[in-house]
């Protein structure tokens, strides 16, 4: 239903956690090269557990290559420089969420190429720099999924 794009991710356990997240919420995970690890990295496999086989993961040489396959998708970027709170937009099926590398975030030119209303921020306490990449991805994906009534989720057994 949604797409999560990790732009040049650096830390294997973060990507493994995001892989597991995407499998559980039904999102497609797009990884933009260069990656700071191999997809065979044991730390990635350990964090992703056996979810790699259930996750729809696609690797792209660059962001434009990724976006050409998503021609009608709206792209929302998460950044500490964003001005719109993550729960303000009305998300649509097929929307994409773009997150930058753990140590440096999204390049300014990439961020500024998006309309201001698609540059999102997550609320935090004053003086804090950022959330962990996989936590930020979970917050925004669950908000988008919540807006869609958790479509496709299994119901608890009674």
* Residue 91 confidence class, pLDDT cut points 50, 70, 90: very high
**Residue 104 burial (10 A CB sphere; 0-12, 13-18, 19+):** exposed
* Region of residue 49 (left: phi > 0; alpha: psi -120 to 50; beta: else): left
Q: Is 106 annotated as a binding residue?
A: no
Percent of the residues in the chain that have a pLDDT greater than 70, as a whole number: 92
Domain map of the chain by residue range? 3-122+131-148
pLDDT score, position 129: 85
What is the overall mean pLDDT for the chain?
91
Strand partners, 99: 6
pLDDT of residue 98: 98
Q: What is the mean predicted confidence (pLDDT) over 138-145?
A: 98
Q: Which residue has the tokens 């999204």?
A: 106
pLDDT band at 41; cut points 50, 70, 90: low
Q: Is 78 among the annotated ligand-binding positions?
A: yes
Has 100 been labeled as part of a binding site?
Answer: yes
3-state DSSP of 86-132: CCCCCCCCCCEEEECCCCCCCCHHHHHCCCHHHEEECCCCCCCCCCC
Q: Is 122 annotated as a binding residue?
A: yes
Q: Residue 156: which pLDDT band, with cuts at 50, 70 and 90?
A: confident
What is the pLDDT, as a whole number, of residue 154?
87
Mean local confidence (pLDDT), 102-126: 95
Cβ atoms within 10 Å, residue 109:
7
The fold adopted by the segment(s) 3-122+131-148 is Alpha/beta knot (3.40.1280)
Which pLDDT does position 139 carry in this prediction?
97
């Amino acid at each position: 239903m949604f797409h999560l794009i990790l732009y040049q991710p650096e830390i294997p356990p973060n990507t493994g956690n995001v892989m597991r997240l995407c499998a559980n919420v039904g999102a497609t995970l797009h990884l933009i090269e260069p990656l700071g690890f191999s997809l065979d990295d044991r730390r990635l496999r350990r964090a992703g557990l056996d979810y790699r086989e259930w996750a729809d993961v696609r690797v792209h040489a660059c962001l434009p290559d990724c976006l050409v396959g998503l021609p009608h998708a709206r792209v929302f970027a998460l950044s500490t420089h964003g001005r719109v709170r993550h729960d303000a937009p009305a998300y649509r099926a097929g929307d994409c969420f773009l997150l930058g590398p753990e140590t440096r975030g999204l390049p300014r030119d990439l961020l500024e190429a998006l309309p201001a209303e698609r540059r999102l921020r997550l609320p935090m306490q004053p003086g804090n720099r950022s959330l962990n990449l996989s936590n930020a991805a979970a917050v925004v994906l669950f908000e988008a999924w919540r807006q869609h009534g958790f479509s496709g989720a299994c119901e608890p057994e009674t």
